[in-house]
């Protein structure tokens, strides 16, 4: 088997092949557990994608008696079920490259003065470039990070544009901290969730909406929330056949109003690809405030019109031209419903 | 733009204004009894047929309208309006 192989071809090659449904929710959950274990061990983590995490070791080096013991502790926190590898360097890119070449269970430390010689023989694919760029560089005979770093920066910039220039800076260790990026630890997530298990698979949207409303009421009643409204909410479902489904909604304004939350979440249920056996609602992030500043004098007249215009402008910016329309009655007396009115796009 | 029967005047106005019709019918999956009453709508049992009416219009044009509308309540409690189009022999759903 190889990635990208057609399903029919794979089954013909290996008839006893077992097809496993994608399970992004379980993968995300497993990743979240790893991040929590790292946080429990004192590491302030920045998750880039499932499988890649950055952390600044300075804060925990004294706790564990040096850099190497701290990295070993991080590997232990991840657990032996995963082939975790860790790389340490002054800069993010060098640390990531070190982790890429380290053996499973190894902590590879690259000092700043050795960073350039360490990166030099590594393949270009470690650099954040588009796939076409690698091919372009290979055609020019450049296959390693060191070869790219040896080129004049201006020429690289002219040939490959800003992305190429950034890759060149990373390759040669010329990048500033701003270019390479500081580690920005996430705020430890809150674990507020409620689950509803159905006696049999449910595909009916109305039943799912009712289930979601029950979960929402339960979550809003949880004392751990301490009056704080949710900012980020996730709906998760275990589907018939073992697959899972998950949608995350970030609210423009955090709210604890059940009607507004239902309106924001219910439409997601229509995207469920199969009947659900289990439905779970999570408050992934809570706002810090507990109240909302109301206006003493309600807006009216020009102020209200101005806000409406601004709102419409935002809608247009989000969905494009034709996103805002006016209903124009053309034959309200007609017995044929679709002949009564038109939706005319507004551009003013 | 205009895919369903309607007056040519409205269709011309819609084209000129780059507009869309509001409340256009969409195809529905309907199973009907022998008498033509719907028994299942979009894979859901019909609990009650609340109302039935007919619309026969524009018979003098090349786009005549012959529809038999049903206002139904589905087993889930949801309301729906469906109609049988006599010209195409198909079912549609629409807010009446």
Q: Is the pLDDT of residue A179 over 90?
A: no
Sign of the alpha-carbon torsion through A17, A18, A21, A23: negative
Q: Supply the CATH number for residue A273's domain.
A: 3.30.1490.100
Q: What is the pLDDT of residue B1?
A: 37
User: How many secondary structure helices (H) and strands (E) does chain B include?
Assistant: 1, 8
Q: What is the pLDDT of residue B50?
A: 92
Q: Looking at CA atoms only, how far is residue A14 from chain B in angstroms?
A: 38
Q: Residue with structure tokens 């002949």?
A: A339
More confidently predicted of A132 and A44: A44
Given A261, A286, A311, the domain boundary residue is: A286
Domain count, chain A: 3
Given A165, A188, A211, the domain boundary residue is: A188
Note the pTM of the prediction, 2 decimals: 0.51
Same domain, A63 and A166: yes
DSSP per-residue codes, A121-164: TSBGGGSS--HHHHHHHHHTT--BHHHHHTS-HHHHHHHHHHHH
Average pLDDT over residues A23-40: 85
Q: What is the pLDDT of residue A175?
A: 67
Q: Which of B6, B13, B16, B19 to mutate to test the interface with A (most CBs of A within 10 A)?
A: B19
Q: What is the pLDDT of residue A180?
A: 65
A85 lies in which domain range?
Answer: 36-188
The answer to whether ipTM exceeds 0.90 is no
Chain A residue numbers with beta carbons less than 8 Å from the beta carbon of B57 are 335-336
Of B5, B20, B78, the CB nearest to A343: B20
Q: Looking at CA atoms only, how far is residue A202 from chain B in angstroms?
A: 12
> Does A21 map to a domain?
no
| Residue A221 CB-density burial (10 A; 0-12 exposed, 13-18 middle, 19+ buried) | exposed
Same domain, A42 and A184: yes
Of B6, B44, B95, the CB nearest to A339: B6
Give the separation between CA A146 and CA A167, rounded to whole angstroms: 11
Q: Is the pLDDT of residue A23 over 50?
A: yes
Instruction: Give the range with max mean pLDDT: A115-119, A251-255, A317-321.
Output: A115-119
Average pLDDT over residues B28-39: 92
B38-41 sheet: strands from edge to edge: B26-27, B90-93, B79-85, B65-74, B44-57, B38-41, B30-32
Q: Is the pLDDT of residue B6 over 70?
A: no
Angle between helices A67-78 and A24-40 (to 10 degrees): 140
Same domain, A254 and A275: yes
Same domain, A120 and A163: yes
Strands A107-109 and A86-88: parallel
Residues A335, B57: C-beta atoms closer than 8 Å: yes
Same domain, A56 and A140: yes
Per domain, the residue ranges of chain B are 23-93
DSSP per-residue codes, A246-299: EEEEE-SS----HHHHHHHHHHHHTT-SS-EEEEEEEEEEE-S-S-----SS--
DSSP helix/strand/coil, B82: strand
Longest distance between any two alpha carbons in chain B, whole Å: 44
Q: Which residue of A has its CA nearest to B76?
A: A206
Q: Supply the CATH number for residue A95's domain.
A: 1.10.150.20
Same domain, A110 and A249: no
CB pairs under 8 A between A and B: 63
Same domain, A166 and A215: no
Q: Is the pLDDT of residue A305 over 60?
A: yes
Q: Residue with structure tokens 């189009």?
A: B85
Chain B residue numbers with beta carbons less than 8 Å from the beta carbon of A337 are 23, 25, 94-96
Q: What is the pLDDT of residue A34?
A: 92
Given A188, A219, A248, the domain boundary residue is: A188
Chain A residue numbers with beta carbons less than 8 Å from the beta carbon of B73 are none
Smallest CA-to-CA distance from B68 within B92, B44, B50 is with: B92
| Residue B33 CB-density burial (10 A; 0-12 exposed, 13-18 middle, 19+ buried) | exposed
Q: Is the pLDDT of residue A129 over 80?
A: yes
Same domain, A177 and A259: no
């Amino acid at each position: 088997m190889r990635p990208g192989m057609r399903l029919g071809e794979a089954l013909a090659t290996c008839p006893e092949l077992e097809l496993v449904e994608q399970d992004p929710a379980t993968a995300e959950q497993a990743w979240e557990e790893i991040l929590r274990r790292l946080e429990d061990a004192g590491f302030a983590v920045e998750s880039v994608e499932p499988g890649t995490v950055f952390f600044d070791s300075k804060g925990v080096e004294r706790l564990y008696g040096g850099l190497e013991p701290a990295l070993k502790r991080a590997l232990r926190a991840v657990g032996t079920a995963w082939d975790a590898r860790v790389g340490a360097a002054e800069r993010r890119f060098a640390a990531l490259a070190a982790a890429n070449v380290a053996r499973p269970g190894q902590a590879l430390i690259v000092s700043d003065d050795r960073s350039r010689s360490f990166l030099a023989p590594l393949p270009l694919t470690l650099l954040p470039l588009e796939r076409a760029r690698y091919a372009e560089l290979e055609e020019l005979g450049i296959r390693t990070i060191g070869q790219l770093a040896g080129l004049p920066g201006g020429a690289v910039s002219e040939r490959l544009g800003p992305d190429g220039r950034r890759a060149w800076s990373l390759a040669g260790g010329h990048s500033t901290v701003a270019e390479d990026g500081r580690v920005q630890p996430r705020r430890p997530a809150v674990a507020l969730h409620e689950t509803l298990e159905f006696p049999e698979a449910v595909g009916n949207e109305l039943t799912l909406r009712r289930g979601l409303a029950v979960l929402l009421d339960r979550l809003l009643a949880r004392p751990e929330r301490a009056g704080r409204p949710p900012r980020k909410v996730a709906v998760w479902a275990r589907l018939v056949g073992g697959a899972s489904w998950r949608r995350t909604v970030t609210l423009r304004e955090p709210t604890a109003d059940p009607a507004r939350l239902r309106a924001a979440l219910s439409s997601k249920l229509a995207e469920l690809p199969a009947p659900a056996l289990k439905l779970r609602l999570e408050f992934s992030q809570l706002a810090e405030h507990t109240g909302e500043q109301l206006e003493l004098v309600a807006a009216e007249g020009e102020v209200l019109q101005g806000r409406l215009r601004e709102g419409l402008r935002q809608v247009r910016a989000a969905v494009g031209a034709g996103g805002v329309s006016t209903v124009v009655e053309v034959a309200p007396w007609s017995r044929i419903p679709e002949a009564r009115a038109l939706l005319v796009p507004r551009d003013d | 733009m205009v895919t369903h029967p309607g007056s040519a005047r409205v269709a011309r106005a819609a084209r000129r204004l780059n507009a869309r019709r509001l409340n256009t019918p969409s195809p529905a999956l309907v199973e009907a009894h022998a008498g033509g009453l719907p028994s299942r709508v979009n894979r859901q049992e019909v609990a009650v047929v609340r109302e039935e009416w007919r619309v026969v219009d524009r018979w003098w044009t090349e786009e005549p309208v012959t529809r038999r509308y049903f206002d139904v309540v589905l087993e889930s409690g949801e309301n729906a309006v469906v109609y049988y189009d006599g010209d195409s022999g198909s079912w549609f759903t629409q807010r009446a």
